[in-house]
Amino acid sequence: MLNGSWDAVNKSEVHKMSSNYLQSVEGLVKNIKINSNSSNVFSPNLQFKFCSSSNCNVSMFGIGVNLNRTTGILKVVAIKNVMKKLKNNFLDMLPTSLLISATLENNSDSFLQITLEFPEKTLNINTKPHCVFWNTSEKEWSDAGCVIKPSNGNGTGQVVCECNHLTSFSVLMAKEDISTEVLDIITYVGLSVSICSLLIFLTIEALVWSAVVKSNLSHFRHTAMVNIATFLLLADISFLASEGDSETWCLVLTLCKHLFFLAMFSWMLCMSVMLVHQLIFVFSPLRKRVFMFLASSVGYVCPVLIVGSSYMYCKYTNKPYYDKKTCWLVYERLLEGSIHAFILPVGTVILTNLFSMVVVIATLVKSSVPDASKVDDKETAKSIIKVVVFLTPVFGVTWIIGFAQLLLDKDNPMVTVASYSFTILNSFQGLFIFITGCLAEQKIVEQLTRMQLHLKPTTPRVDFVLD
């Protein structure tokens, strides 16, 4: 196959055949079991070598491949006469005749750096090296996330590709991986702050639960907030764990993020709809059993059904459910791709919450918070109003920016602005919940103050008696 020119086949079929050939070769190499009797493979158009030492330095058709790691087995295959047959979406680039694929198995290193050393005679001083990888889901080349370093200046050309990093939050609502080092730093910082904030919030809720939940309305409010915080925490942790080469692990994390984000928005929907019901139907309050049944159906069952049905649909229609590089849903084009099983439900929730916020504001303009039979209900209604009025614009604007990323062309300068805005707002959502659900909640602050005063040691009294 590598010897042939494939001239008898049209161009689109050549692209498809070469992509399938490359994927098959990589799958074969990945499944090769290495033992002490294994040997390297040499042929005019294909070479296969493996390395089990900590410092691997192999040469494939005169090009050196170097990788330092502590554990694992490196498998490298070099293929000739297939690069020009693959689809070239970098029209200003001329593909070389050699393709190198490296696979690392049983490795636990968090950071890896692969170095390709090109002999001086293979480099043209008028050309600029460009490091790319073959995106199996998009069937095209991509340079997303790869950092290229120039020659080391010692007479031997060298290109260093560093592509192993945390995918930033911007990839959640992007047509392709648009990660940068700055976006990754923002994601790390934001996730760390959000996870700590959510853990503190859930801990405080557990400590003050019995003291602040004294009516059905307050029970509704705190139940919704705890579920929102819990699912956002699980989604952040899943996002943070989205590194690694295991396809199974990547699929599991994609399912988890899809489910947890949908569940978080579903509970936000429950809280806003419950608030509107409380404001409009003053004399027909929801019973606890009814609310828990409806909220559980919307907050737990609906997300599971959406995620399960979208995964099964993609599986049985042979469409990709997730991107193996980003560990997230796939965007193909408008209204096509698994990411629409996330966009459409979230968009529906955002629109409903915005409508609820308008209803709440209009009701408050006409009158004050409805008189309730208990003072506790009035205070709880006010706290829910603060949460909905603050979080709805923050969460809504965040994901509206994300939706805009899908509509913008990648060459549009606004894509960068949208990516940074979306990443910053999304990664710090846990902090927003902590501020609105805890620090801005008067009853929680008062209860924490009482607990602090109760635990504060008192100074023993000493009386002096003069006899």
Q: List pLDDT tens digits, range 100-125.
A: 877 777 665 555 667 777 655 555 54
Task: List, as one string, the DSSP characters of 373-405.
Answer: SSHHHHHHHHHHHHHHHHHHHHHHHHHHHHHHH
Which residues face 64 on adjacent strands? 59, 117
Confidence band for 359, pLDDT divided at 50, 70 and 90: confident
Express each pLDDT in 234-251 by its tens digit.
999 988 887 655 678 888
Q: In terms of DSSP H, where are the helices of 176-287?
A: 181-212, 216-240, 247-280
How far is 356 from 406, CA to CA, in rounded Å? 26
Question: Could you check whether 11-162 and 169-453 share the same CATH topology?
Answer: no
How far is 123 from 128, CA to CA, in rounded Å? 9
Greater confidence (366 vs 223) lies with 223
Residue 329: other Cβ atoms inside 10 A: 24
How far is 118 from 65, CA to CA, in rounded Å? 9
**What does the DSSP 8-state code read for residue 459?**
P
Express each pLDDT in 8-33 by its tens digit.
777 778 888 888 888 888 788 878 87
Winning range, highest mean pLDDT, from 98-112, 130-144, 267-281: 267-281
How far is 222 from 230, CA to CA, in rounded Å? 12
Greater confidence (463 vs 74) lies with 74
Amino acid of residue 330: V
Q: Is 210 left (phi over 0), alpha (psi -120 to 50) or beta?
A: alpha
Contact by Cβ (8 Å): 93, 138: no
Mean pLDDT of 372-401: 62
User: Residue 87 is encoded by which pair of tokens?
Assistant: 């689809």
Q: Tell me, what's the pLDDT at 298?
A: 93
Contact by Cβ (8 Å): 117, 45: no
* CATH label, 169-453, candidates 1.20.1070.10, 3.40.50.720, 3.10.20.740, 3.40.190.10: 1.20.1070.10
Burial 174-212 (b: 16+ CB within 10 A, else e): bbbbbbbeebbebbeebbeebbebbeebbebbeebeeeb
Beta-carbon contacts of residue 373 (< 8 Å; ≥ 6 apart): none
Q: Tell me, what's the pLDDT at 299?
A: 93
Winning range, highest mean pLDDT, from 56-60, 158-162, 202-206, 213-217: 202-206
In the predicted model, what is the mean pLDDT of the chain? 75
User: Residue 464 is encoded by which pair of tokens?
Assistant: 């002096």
Residue 299 DSSP SS3: helix
Q: Tell me, what's the pLDDT at 467?
A: 42
- Which of 197, 199, 195 is closest to 434 using CA atoms? 197
Q: Tell me, what's the pLDDT at 304?
A: 96
* CATH label, 11-162, candidates 1.10.3720.10, 2.60.220.50, 2.40.50.140, 3.10.105.10: 2.60.220.50
How far is 270 from 363, CA to CA, in rounded Å? 19
What's the sign of the alpha-carbon dihedral 327, 240, 243, 415?
positive
Greater confidence (356 vs 302) lies with 302
The alpha carbon of residue 233 and the mean position of all alpha carbons in its chain are separated, in whole angstroms, by: 13
The domain spans of the chain are 11-162, 169-453
Express each pLDDT in 150-195 by its tens digit.
555 554 455 666 555 445 555 565 655 566 667 778 888 888 899 9
Residue 389: other Cβ atoms inside 10 A: 17
- Which of 379, 388, 362 is closest to 444 using CA atoms? 379
133-135 and 140-142 as β-strands: parallel, antiparallel, unpaired?
antiparallel
Q: For residue 446, is pLDDT > 70?
A: yes
Strands ordered across the beta sheet of 98-105: 41-42, 46-51, 73-80, 98-105
Q: In terms of DSSP H, where are the helices of 281-339?
A: 288-296, 302-316
